[in-house]
Chain A
Amino acid sequence: MGKLKVEDLKRIKESLKGTVNLRDGQHRVKITVHMGTCGIAAGARKIMDALFTRLEESGADDIMLTTSGCAGLCNHEPMLTVEVKDTTPVKYINLNEKKVLQIFDEHVMNNNPVADYALSQGSETTY
């Protein structure tokens, strides 16, 4: 590789004109991959890589992909949280690359949460 080439950056900047992703606070969906020690050891980075690739392929410009630390449910890692604007956030657990792509296609793109991989649905009932 060597040093970063300025021409390459200029090229990126040119190619991105008008298609730039929205900044924090302006996105429709926020995906947070949990990247504590537990998450990383369980494969969170692979989840992140799979999401990058799919996000890029999708061409969507209203999705934000970010990371957070340990959520305290280490035995359920890898985990991620999907927050679609104006809907309830959903925490997904015990993920792999295949599951995560399904979540991206169904929940992130079509606002249709994948109940099978979610930590829980709704709150406890009292009857």
Chain B
Amino acid sequence: MEDLSLHILDIVENSTMAGATLVVIDILEDPKKNVLQITIEDNGRGMDQEMLKRVRDPFVTTRTTRSVGLGLSLLEQAAQETGGNMTVTSNTGQGTIVKVSFQTDHIDRKPLGDMGSTLTALIAGNPEVDFIYSDNLDNERMELDTRELRAELGDDVPMNDPAVLKFLRGLFEKPENS
């Protein structure tokens, strides 16, 4: 993966495959501690403690199309390369929380990448799932809750309408001359 937003896309796809109806994504930069922390929390079907123990193993997956599962393994590796780490907590029927931290200024820390693109890809592919996104990057708090968006748009406009997705993308574009 080239950047962290692609890792996030990958991990959240796990959430949607696990039947989540709500996924909370938070990116928190702590300049004092030099830590960048990404949290992905879903209300999917979760996993039992046995699976949880093995989930970082690249040769463990629930899918049937191939026998390797690299998503979490690659993310953990990306974190460890910066001296960071990853924790996964989960309970059957209660969802899963993936927390991953990076040393922000480490030379091997991948750039965040394009979260606008990640979120629009997620919404396009899973229009029935709600996403709450927040970050505190560039000294500005950003929050996006698709439940608010959905309530405002009503039943007439589906979340994956190209105009809605374009609007969402626009929220992530940096204004020029900034």
Chief secondary structure at chain B's binding surface: helix
Name A32's closest neighbour in chain B (CB-CB): B125
B125 touches A12 (CB 8 A): no
Residue A101 at the B interface, CB < 8 A? no
Interface string of B132-167 (1 = CB under 8 A from A): 000000001111110011001110111011111111
Contact B161 A21 (CB under 8 A): yes
**CB within 8 Å for A40 and B6 given contacts A12-B157, A72-B65:** yes
Residue numbers in A under 8 Å from B152 (CB-CB): 6, 9-10, 13
**Interface residues on chain B, number (Cβ under 8 Å):** 45
Are A65 and B160 in contact (CB-based, < 8 A)?
yes
Within 8 Å by CB of A35, from B70, B121, B169, B171, lies B121
B122 to chain A: closest CB distance in Å? 8
Note all chain B residues with C-beta closer than 8 A to A15: 163
B60 at the A interface (CB under 8 A): no
Please, how many angstroms separate the alpha-carbon atoms of A42 and B13 in the complex? Answer: 16
Given contacts A1-B140, A1-B171, A6-B152, contact A55 B70 (CB under 8 A): no
From 63 to 91 in chain A, residues with beta carbon under 8 angstroms from any chain B beta carbon are 64-72, 74
Chain A contacts for B140, CB-based, 8 A: 1-2
Residues B125 and A35 in contact, CB atoms below 8 Å apart:
yes
Within B68-101, which residues are at the interface with A (CB < 8 Å)?
69-71, 74
Interface flag for B59 (CB, 8 Å): no
B65-A35 in contact (CB<8A)? no
* CB-defined contacts of B69 to chain A, threshold 8 Å: 37
A interface vs B, CB < 8 Å?
1-4, 6, 8-10, 12-13, 15-17, 20-21, 23, 33, 35-38, 40-41, 45, 48-49, 52, 55-56, 64-72, 74
| Other-chain residue from B6, B126, B141 in contact with A45 (beta carbon distance below 8 A) | B6
Chain B residue at minimal CB-CB distance from A8? B167
Residues of B within 8 A of A41 (CB): 1, 6, 10, 74
Q: How far is the CA of A122 from the CA of B141 in the complex (A)?
A: 53
Residues from chain B with Cβ under 8 Å of A10 in the complex: 152
Asked if B32 is an interface residue, CB under 8 A from chain A, the answer is no
A9→B142 contact, CB < 8 A: no
Nearest CB on A from B3, distance (A): 10
Q: Are A9 and B161 in contact (CB under 8 A)?
A: no
Q: State the CA gap A15–B153 with chains docked (Å).
A: 11
Question: Which residues of the partner chain B approach A48 to less than 8 Å between Cβ atoms?
Answer: 117, 120-121, 124
Distance of A4 Cα from B172 Cα, bound (Å) = 11
CB distance from B125 to the nearest CB of A (A): 3
- A52, B165: Cβ atoms under 8 Å? yes
Contact B158 A21 (CB under 8 A): yes
Q: Are B66 and A13 in contact (CB under 8 A)?
A: no
User: Is B65 touching A67 in the complex (CB atoms < 8 A)?
Assistant: no
Is there contact, CB below 8 Å, between A21 and B142? no
* Partner pick for B157 among A2, A16, A33, CB 8 A cutoff: A16
